[in-house]
Structure 1
Amino acid sequence: MSTERTEDIPSGRARHRPLAPPAWLLKGLRPTAAPVPWAAVVRAGIALAVPLAVGFALDEPEYGALASMGALSGVIGDTADAYRMRILNIAVPQFFGAVGVTLGTLVFGHGWLAVGALTLIALVSGMISSIGTVASVSGLLLLLNAVVGAGLPLPSPWWTAPVLLAAGGLFVLALTLLGWPLRGHRPERAAVAATYRALADALEAAGGAAYTERRQEVTQALNQAYDLVLGRRARVHGRSPALVRMLAQLNAVIGLVEAAPAMHLRGGPLPPALPAAVRELARAVEEGRTGAPVPVLPEPHTPAERALDSALRHAAAIVHAAEPDPYNVDDRLGRPAALTVRARRTVRDMMLSGASWRYGLRLALCIGLAQSLVSLVPVERSYWVALTVTFVLKPDFGSVFSRAVLRALGTAGGLVVAAAVLAEVPRGWWDVPVMAALAALIPAFSAKGYAFQTAAITPVILLLSDLLNHQGFDLIRPRLLDSLIGCAIALVAGYLLWPESWHARIGDRLADAVDDAARYVERAFGAHEPTEPALRAARTARLQARRRIYRDLSGVRSEFQRALTEPPPTGARAAAWWPLVVAVERIVDATTAARVRVNHGAPAPRAEEVAAVTADLRALAEGVRNARTPAQLEPPPPRAGDEASVLAPVRRELAAARAIASADR
């Protein structure tokens, strides 16, 4: 049994040295340990340098600069793995960007009309950004290009700028799709194989302190793989054999994922042959191998061992099957609805969402203030103020407060590089190799963190701006000043003046997760009709509930980790609740393990015990919803139970979660 207990998790309130930088700043400035995406590095260098070279060859450097700006948007938005998603991530935002620059060009030089137009565009952009990843990038590009069109004298006629910007983005898309004929299904297959590898890592860590983190990685890998495979399958007419195979292989992971918590609670390390067998399955999935012999596994003795053995043999049979049955492949999460249905739901949810309106109004207020300020006070290259506000005030990019500070630091670092380039490199054809080198840094630095991405993008934008404005080194000081003004507006009008910034609703999200855990316990051990169809339906509903709660818990963890980067009191409050987040994850793990043990021979818990655990979880959810800190929770009620029951680990984790309140008193 693991010796790590919920009570031992640090609450995050330990005192630091008085002169030490704040934790959120150190976290933002610490580069993420991510591999360099060499393909993206080469693609970015070519995508931004070639349009510039064409512009010089045609003696129209301004046209080349605009096309390179469009390519820059495509490079930043190219974040997906699957090729079909990459088409959406690049092409759809380019359309919104073309609309944005057109609207901006139409109000260029019109004073307060431009202020009102950009404010309205900011409202629409903010509401669109709340829908999803592609919509977020589309809303961002809509507003960014509108600001550029309203702030820069772009070439005439009006359609020139949108055509050139879209051409640059589509050039990136063309470069991206060059590998599609050779790597058609590889991203999806790699995602499925990554799920098996993450599971092997979790099994190796079972019984130890590292298991919780490894289990989180399994959840993330599983979410990504299902998103890729089901998203691809929803767009393919009929039943593609390759997609049927991958979905069957992915569904086979479910049994292994359910057995992993049971093996962890069993205690002690697993025989090395078990994780090794899972790794071999990962290699078979990635290489497309079939027909391998049944793996040699140690003899199982306990219900947990029997569950893992059964799941592993089933996964091996599915992975190595020559032809999976296309009519016996279950879409565990449900296939996505038709595109028109999803579009109607999306628009309806956006218009009725309080969060969508709140973010749209925040962004519109900040853009309106930025444009009003530069209309009243002469500010050089004033469009950069609104651009800074747009980049900083993105809710899905992380904490607004830390992002504003990190952007200021990243801009300062990028300006050092830009100053050297603008001072030493003569304008002309020398800009092409310099642009290729600077652009190649963007994907490499973006993987390291927000401040590093800003430092890489800043000299690229400055060099392109110089080709449009011909100001040279004189761009440096105004750009730094504009960035600082934009960060200040975002901090004050987009952060400090909004109560939700200081009173983040992280407790509500956590309470909802605890309620979901209570429903999961009911689904796992509730009474069902003994008929085969009813049992099959109950199992499917339980699997869907388990996938949903693990996905939701992953979202809760991400939201808490984002809140931890905020300054006090939000960051301190998130740190206080953090142990309970981990405790709820363990409750769900223990419930899954209990269900697996029952499926493989352990006695089922009594209905009274299930009802008592469910009632305790709902009471905990209500307490979290009404308390501002864990110290305001009621201490755990004394409740006896059978220690031989499969729900005993669930009760212990629940008691540990409630004991957080007592520990904080």
Structure 2
Amino acid sequence: MSWLRALKGTARAGLAVERARLEPLTALRAAVGLALVIGAGLAFLGPGAAASSAFGAFMAALATFQKSWRPRPVLALAAGLTLAVSTFVGYLVGSSHTALFLVLLAVWAFGASLLWAAGPTAGMIASGNVAIMLVTVTLPTSVPQAAGHAAMIAAGGVVQALLIVLFPVRRWGAQRDALADALAAEADYARRLRHDPLAHFDPEPLMRARAAATVTRRQARRRPAELHGARGLAERIRPVLASLADPAVGAPAEGPARDRVRELLAAAAAVLDAAARAIRHGEPVRLPAPALAVLKSPDTAELLEGAPLRAARRLAALLDDVLETAEPRSGRTADPGESMLRPTLPALVPVVLRSVRAELHPGSPVLRHALRVTAVACAGYVIGHALPFGHAYWAPMASVMVMRPDFTQTYSRAVARFGGTLVGVAVATGVVQLVQPGMYLSGLLAVVSAGLMYVLMRTGYAVAQVFVSAYVVFLLGMGGVRWDQTVPDRVSLTLLGGLLAMLGYALYPAWETPLLRARLADWVEALGGYAAAVLGQYADPAGARRAEVRRALLATRDARIAWRTAGERAAGEPVRHRGLSHAAAEEAGHALAALGQGVMLLEAHLPDRGQAPAPGAAALAEALRAATRDGAKAVREGRAPEWAGVRELLADGEGPDGEGLDRGVLRGAAEQVLRSLEEVSQALSQSPPRTRQ
């Protein structure tokens, strides 16, 4: 992609307005918290302290809207307290010498940017705190005042946290949505399998539900029963649906048996949708009677036999469990000992430090991001002070807020921030000139602007920036700062900050495109480990360890998401991978998804511990592990992988012999796995060879 096309694409993405589900009650609660701290500050301490507390409450509320499964009060407190510390330390250093503050800014920006290694929520909160610190350090005029302003900022975070505790809005709403989305995705998968027995399933909803189900010990004691257990059932239903629909191990492609399979899949979709609605809204399950009639019909045993019949019976039993779990039960909570527990914030510190240390190497995108942000923030601060404007902090603040570890987000946010700032400042200026608000009315207008931002922030970054810009204009207006003292400076320096952010990424990029082959190879190797773990259960049913299969499956999902994320980022980058065309990457991705489907069919029919080992399963497991390991190496080196060992094992009859139910399932799925591997090689062989740079 050329730079011109990339810039056009990022500009469109930055200015796009999306339809999203709004959260007006949550936004109202955040706005009320902001109004309380601004009103108290104006009434008792003056506009300066009110502005400080407003920034603390604003950032604390903003943190609670991030995509995190941690308790919202914890996020509010963390954002408010860290901003308070940053402000106080920044004033102590900056009040004595500008050069020392520049050093502090470099350290703060570098450390905050490295926190992206701990996840996007930590990265966004840390970056926001650095940006707001540049404003808040200019408000106090003495050390006691700086301590007071820091205390007010912290108080703003505390107020927001208290409001969340005292006035909860839709308890466990994010967790309910994640689990309901997973069940709804399973329902959609069942419907698609009726028409396409080899349809692929995107595991991301299940991964999101798993993340939502990982709780603290305190959360585990309070979690509603319907949020405990249904995710595991959804995980077990997915391979059963696939094995029921796939002609290789399920019912024939046509005939009465296939018609019954389609009826069972439709009934399963209805049950899963009903469970999803009940969990999402916390209400009793309302199930269509025809769906249960199909699942319980005795005719199924007459139309299906063997593996399809076993899958149908297993599906009916699992759906019964889903309905029982999804039914709300007042007063019952999950046992913390049965929960997946996440560490508390103090226990998270060594985990974050390990993640940060793991990124301290030259090829790390996070390290490159940290170096870019540090250089751009310091350059913006110096240039802002050199220009004949006031409020020089707006340039580095804009840079820090828009910069992200990937190209598309950085450039789209830079465009969106300038466009939103231009509109927001223009609207706020018009209101100020028309109404001439005093101190209290300016505070009220600031609260209204922030409230609208909270409501509409999920519709797009540009929309949010319109109201953020108006919020800042009204907030500064509380202290008597005239619009003509801020508007030209803010618009000009915001443009400067955005341009510096874009220039910084162009000069020191972290392109995802050259890493596509490595991401694809990781996925190939992870799938080989998953296949070997599943086949190991067939080779030794008595010593089967299902936890190994689960770990291998999760590793495969992580590799798949990493590949997809890399592909999405690479699609918008102005660079071309000479060793992997877009078409080849897409075909290889589809083939690997089919490979995962084949292994999942094997997992759906894992033998009981009392069954005899399947002949050839151990040899096939070792062959697949070795072949995918060598294949991953070939992909990284720009060659098309070979699967001769697996092909010969199946062709010579030394693998599964096809005798008995389990052997038949094993052979059918193994042949599907081999076909998928060959499709990967075919896709990559069409790509031009990689050239060394």
Task: Please classify the TM superposition score into its range, dividing by the shorter chain length.
Answer: 0.7 to 0.9
Helix, strand or coil at the partner of 1:35: coil
Length, aligned pairs only: 634
- The answer to whether residue 175 in structure 2 is matched with residue 188 in structure 1 is yes
**Normalising by structure 2, what TM-score?**
0.80
Match of 1:544 among 548, 551, 554: 551
Q: 1:148 aligns with which of 124, 129, 135?
A: 135
Partner of 2:405: 395
Specify which of 59, 66, 69 is matched with residue 73 of structure 1: 59
Give the equivalent residue in structure 2 for 1:7.
none
In the aligned structure 1, how far is the partner of 2:15 from the partner of 2:487? 23
| Uncovered stretches (5+) of structure 1, i.e. residues with no partner | 1-12
Asked whether 1:490 is paired with 2:496, we answer no
Does the C-alpha gap of structure 1 residues 32 and 207 become closer, same or farther in structure 2, counting only changes over 3 Å?
A: farther
Matched, 1:523 2:546: no
Aligned amino acid, residue 525 of structure 1: L
Separation in 2, partners of 1:594, 1:290: 32
Partner of 2:661: none
Query: Residues 535-558 of structure 1, C-alpha deviation per residue, up to 9 Å, x if partnerless?
Result: 2x2x22212321332244224323
SS of the residue corresponding to residue 647 of structure 1 reads helix
Tell me whether 1:645 sits opposite 2:649 in the alignment: no
Higher Cα radius of gyration: 2
Matches within 5 A, 1:113-128: 113-128=100-115
SS in 1 for 2:419: helix
Q: Determine if the alignment matches structure 1 residue 88 to structure 2 residue 74.
A: yes
Q: Which moved more, 1:279-288 or 1:83-92?
A: 279-288
Q: 1:551 to 1:309 in 2, by over 3 A?
A: farther
Asked if 1:220 is matched to 2:204, the reply is yes
Q: CA deviation at 1:398?
A: 6.0
User: Is residue 426 of structure 2 the alignment partner of residue 430 of structure 1?
Assistant: no
1:277 and 2:263 equivalent?
no
Structure 2 stretches of 5 or more lacking a match?
248-252, 652-663, 689-693
CA distance in 2, matches of 1:400, 1:308: 49
SS at match of 1:173: helix
Q: Equivalences for 1:441-460 in 2 at 5 Å?
A: 441-460=452-471
Q: Does 1:160 align with 2:165?
A: no
Q: Read off the aligned partner of 1:278 and give its amino acid letter.
A: L
User: Of 230, 233, 236, which residue of structure 2 is paired with 1:249?
Assistant: 230
- The answer to whether residue 190 in structure 2 is matched with residue 203 in structure 1 is yes
Choose the corresponding residue for 1:379, options 389, 399, 415.
389
AA aligned to 1:541 is E
Residue 351 of structure 1 pairs with residue 357 of structure 2:
yes
**Cα distance in 2 for residues equivalent to 1:328 and 1:107:** 46
Instruction: Select the structure with the greater relative contact order (CA < 8 A; seq sep ≥ 6).
Output: 1
Aligned to 1:364: 374
Q: Report deviation, 1:264.
A: 5.4
Checking the alignment, whether the CA contact within 8 Å between 2:524 and 2:631 is kept in structure 1 is yes
CA distance in 1, matches of 2:494, 2:519: 34
Deviations 1:204-230 (A, max 9, x none): 1225579968x32xx333223322332
What is aligned with 1:231?
Answer: 215
The 10-residue stretch of structure 1 (415-424 or 571-580) with the greater mean CA deviation from structure 2: 571-580
Q: Using the TM superposition, name which of 154-163 and 107-116 deviates more.
A: 154-163
Note the C-alpha offset of 1:383: 0.4
- In structure 1, C-alpha distance between the alignment counterparts of 2:496 and 2:577, rounded to whole Å: 24
Q: Which amino acid aligns with 1:282?
A: A
Q: Is the 8 A contact 1:525 1:610 kept in 2?
A: yes
Report the 3-state secondary structure (helix = DSSP H, G, I; strand = E; otherwise coil) of the residue aligned with 1:526: helix
Provide the residue aligned with 1:27 in structure 2.
Answer: 13
CA contact (8 A) 1:284 1:319 kept: no
Q: Which residue of 1 aligns with 2:34?
A: 48
* Cross-structure match for 2:597: 589
Do 1:502 and 1:570's aligned partners in 2 also have CA atoms closer than 8 Å?
no
Contact 2:630 2:641 in 1 (8 A): no
Q: Residue 655 of structure 1 is aligned with which of 678, 681, 685? A: 678
The TM-score normalised by the length of structure 1 is: 0.83
CA-CA distance at 1:579 after TM superposition: 4.2
Contact 1:370 1:386 in 2 (8 A): yes
1:310 and 2:314 are equivalent in the alignment: yes
Deviations 1:199-257, CA, capped at 9 Å, x for gaps: 112211225579968x32xx33322332233214x345xx7485666332322222112
CA displacement, residues 486-525 of structure 1 (integer Å, 9 cap, x when unaligned): 12222223x1222533765343233212211110110011
Match of 1:103 in 2: 89
How far apart in 2 are the matches of 1:487 and 1:291? 52
Shift of 1:79: 2.4
1:36 counterpart SS class: coil
CA shift in 2, pair 1:487/1:579, >3 Å: farther
Aligned CA distance change for structure 1 residues 451 and 309 (closer, same or farther; 3 Å): farther
| Equivalent position of 1:6 in the other structure | none
User: SS in structure 2 opposite 1:427?
Assistant: coil
After TM superposition, give the deviation of residue 313 of structure 1 in Å.
1.3
Structure 1 contact 100–145 (Cα < 8 Å) conserved: no
Cα distance in 1 for partners of 2:451, 2:435 equals: 18
Distance 1:284 1:259, change over 3 A: same
Give the Cα separation in 1 of the matches to 2:72 and 2:517. 35
Shift of 1:170: 2.4
Structure-1 separation of matches of 2:457 and 2:581: 27
Could you tell me how far 1:119 is from its partner in structure 2?
1.0
**What secondary structure is seen at the aligned counterpart in 2 of 1:206?**
helix
What is the deviation of 1:65? 2.5
Deviations 1:309-349 (A, max 9, x none): 41441342365279999889865xx5446766543233233
Identity %: 19
Residue 417 of structure 1 corresponds to 427
Aligned-partner Cα distance in 1 for 2:141–2:589: 51
